[in-house]
Structure 1
Amino acid sequence: MSRKIALILISICTISIAFATKRKESAPSGFAVVELFTSEGCSSCPPADALVARIEKENQDRPVYILAYHVDYWDRLGWKDTFSNRIFSQRQNQYAKWLNLSSVYTPQIVINGSKEFVGSEEKTLRGAITSSLSEAGKTKLAISLSLQSGQNIIDYQINQPTLGYNLLVAIITPNASNKIERGENKGRTLSHVQIVRSLENFSLNGKDKGSVNFLPAKGIQQGSAEIIALLQNEKTGQITAAAKLKF
């Protein structure tokens, strides 16, 4: 082999190694928390519910965390949503303050606690998820579950200072459907995914590891649900980490 050919081959190998190294370093490590505010009493919500169901199915192997909150302020208009809870309406109102909104509405989606839009806007949702997944994730949240003295305990560990942050623990029912007998969706059978059944908010008081105990919603049995935990800035609403496990 001539010296010239050898130098060319060495150069090619060097470029290949550098390219491979660059690709490894730039691998995306972001996540997307998709919070949907919806209601069975809202005629505009079923398209958003269906969209979120498609997104959930397509992203089962990626760090996309979907939480569907059924708000209660539509309940007075003819149909009481069986999954509604005033706590979820309060969370949506808190987002209105964080995001400087003049009012709340359904269907609404909030991504990573920092961006909101109409929940049925598929192109916007897909773009927001892609953008969030491509960001470099710096904060890591690890959780584990145990049963101690009849109480459900979550152990958490976080690799960042947590002063000014809260840990939110949501219990999720993977799917359900209801036949609507009154209200704007009368006569329809509505299907839902990732339904939030209970939500608890824990102040971490600067602790980067510890334990919290939580109460699951009534009627939820272990083995049929999921836990999603979120690390959220209490002043801005930004979610900096998420984790999930089977319950």
Structure 2
Amino acid sequence: MILKNLIGTAAFVAIMFTVSAFSCTDKTEEIYQNHTSNDRGFAVLELFTSEGCSSCPPADQLMGEIEKQYKDQPVYILAYHVDYWNNLGWKDKFSSIENSKRQQQYAQTLRSQVYTPQLVVNGKKEFVGSDRDAVENGIQTALLNSNNTKIDLSTKVSEKEITINFKTAENNSQNKLLITLVEKKSSTNVQRGENEGRHLVHWQIVHQQNQISLKNSTEGTTSFKLPENFNTNDWEIIGMIQNVKTGEIVGSTKSSF
């Protein structure tokens, strides 16, 4: 079942009206290599999904296949687990109200419905996230018709936090830099809801996202609390620049640990 924007719960209504602007392994500190985006085309795939939705596992699986297929190309995947399914039988441990708000922002800028699984490419086009042909066409169109704004990222991991230094030449006051902490792969044994009894595997899971205004400064530092059971092989940082008015993403890169 695809969940449309007709849920009559007070929590979801609150989400709809609370719309903000596009808005470790050891105790030693490690500094990792600087990562820089280039100016060729890129594709940012943002999937809105939920463990409570029976239509979502095929979309999650497709993201895993796309990640493998395009591993050497500038294709960046972020899976946002939304929270508005949580009262319908199963609470998704990866979900957050922030992820639901981001989807609602896209509903406004793209004039689309809110549903799962929904995929947005470069902040400009949306379609059902399990539609392989649409996803492939969206990626190819984005790679051919975008110019990647330069972003420099360098990452430092300490016992309690991850620190990211960023720098970009982009100084449009309408743009924000979004820095996202992503878990590459995880899984859950679902015990209730539409996916009861299923073992679900997820890729590119968004855990934390910081939004940084580029109005007054194009370089600086941001940080994340170190997740439990963190290890450098299973996580990465994705940075992207987004226009707060149109939603269009004009640049992206990633930094692996």
- 2:58 matches 1:47: yes
Q: Distance in 1 between matches of 2:163 and 2:182?
A: 16
For structure 2, list consecutive stretches of 5 or more residues without a partner in the other structure.
1-38
Structure 1, unaligned stretches of length 5 or more? 1-27
Provide the residue aligned with 2:172 in structure 1: 162
Corresponding position of 1:187: 197
Q: Describe the shift of the 1:136–1:32 C-alpha distance in structure 2 as closer, same or farther (beyond 3 A).
A: closer
Residue 37 of structure 1 pairs with residue 48 of structure 2 = yes
The code of the aligned residue for 2:225 comes to P
Q: Structure 1's 188 and 152: CA in aligned 2 closer, same or farther, altered over 3 A?
A: closer
Which of 60, 73, 79 aligns to 1:62? It is 73
Partners of 1:178 and 1:149 lie apart in 2 by 27
Find the aligned partners of 2:60 and 2:172 in 1 and give their Cα distance.
Answer: 33
Determine which of 108, 115, 126 is the counterpart of 1:116: 126
Could you tell me which of 63, 67, 88 is aligned with 1:77?
Answer: 88
Match of 1:198 in 2: 208
Q: CA shift at 1:157, angstroms?
A: 2.2
How far apart are 1:205 and its partner, in Å? 1.6
Deviations 1:76-122, CA, capped at 9 Å, x for gaps: 01100111111100100011111122x30000000001110011111
**Would the aligned equivalents of 2:161 and 2:226 in 1 still touch at CA under 8 Å?**
no
- The answer to whether 1:129 aligns with 2:155 is no
Taking structure 1 as the reference length, what is the TM-score of the superposition? 0.83
Aligned-pair distance for 1:221?
2.0
Q: 1:149 to 1:37 in 2, by over 3 A?
A: closer
Residues 165 and 149 of structure 1, relative CA distance in 2, 3 Å threshold: farther
Q: Distance in 2 between matches of 1:29 and 1:168?
A: 20
Going from structure 1 to structure 2, the CA distance change for 1:169 and 1:184 (only over 3 Å counts) comes to same
Which residue identity is paired with 1:170?
A: T
| Cα deviations by residue, 1:24-79 (Å, 9 ceiling, x for unpaired) | xxxx9200000000000000101111111111110100000000010000010110
* Offset from partner CA, 1:122-181 (integer Å, 9 cap, x none): 101000101111225152112112358965432222233231111111111110111110
CA RMSD of aligned residues (A): 1.9
User: Which secondary structure state, in structure 2, belongs to the residue aligned with residue 77 of structure 1?
Assistant: coil
Q: Which has the higher helix share?
A: 1
- 1:98 aligned residue (105, 109, 123): 109
Q: Secondary structure at the match of 2:87?
A: helix
Counterpart contact for 2:47–2:119, Cα < 8 Å = yes
Alpha-carbon distance between aligned partners in 2 of 1:81 and 1:205, rounded to the nearest angstrom: 36
Distance (whole Å) between structure 2 residues aligned to residue 215 and residue 225 of structure 1: 12
1:10 match: none
What SS does the corresponding residue of 1:187 show, helix, strand or coil?
A: coil
Number of aligned residues: 218
- Determine the C-alpha separation between the residues in 1 that align with 2:110 and 2:192: 33
Cα distance in 2 for residues equivalent to 1:147 and 1:195: 19
Q: TM-score, normalised by structure 2?
A: 0.80
The answer to whether 1:211 aligns with 2:220 is: yes
Equivalent residues of 2:79, 2:206 under 8 A apart? yes
When residues 158 and 128 of structure 1 are mapped into structure 2, their CA distance, relative to the original with a 3 A threshold, is same
Percent of aligned positions that are identical:
44
Give the aligned partner of residue 226 of structure 1: 236
